[in-house]
Amino acid sequence: MLFRPSGARLKYSAVAIAREVINKHPEVTWPYRMMTAWSAMSGDLKTAQWAAKKLLAAEPGFTIERYLSRPVFQGVPQWADQTAKGLRQAGLPEH
């Protein structure tokens, strides 16, 4: 099933999954990116900003621009736009 971050319930479930991965594997950075975007899109800016801070500590050079240049986003511009919006809302750097 393709993840479509359009409903609050779906986003909440995605955040819960990211949180579970973080709890088990705090050294892995991808769930911090996802938690940042999905929490912000769900309106939970406190969690989004916490995850963004953890992400920047683990990846000091992280930028939204660099992240969106990854091949996974090339064929799904709507997903890329929604993810970028969440990352921006959390305060991550654009460039």
Query: Please, are residues 58 and 33 in contact by the beta-carbon 8 Å criterion?
Result: no
- Confidence class of residue 71 from pLDDT cuts 50, 70 and 90? very high
Asked if residue 66 has pLDDT above 90, the reply is: yes
Whole-number Å distance between alpha carbons of 69 and 49? 22
Q: What average pLDDT score do residues 14-31 get?
A: 89
Evaluate whether 55 touches 32 at the Cβ level (below 8 Å).
yes
Mean model confidence pLDDT for the chain: 88
**Residue percentage of the chain with pLDDT more than 90:** 69
Hey, where are the domains in the chain?
A: 29-95
Model pLDDT for residues 26-64, shown as the tens digit of each residue:
889 999 999 999 999 999 999 999 999 999 999 999 999
Q: Calculate what percentage of the chain has a pLDDT beyond 70.
A: 87
pTM as predicted? 0.81
Crossing angle of helices 45-58 and 30-41, rounded to 10°: 160
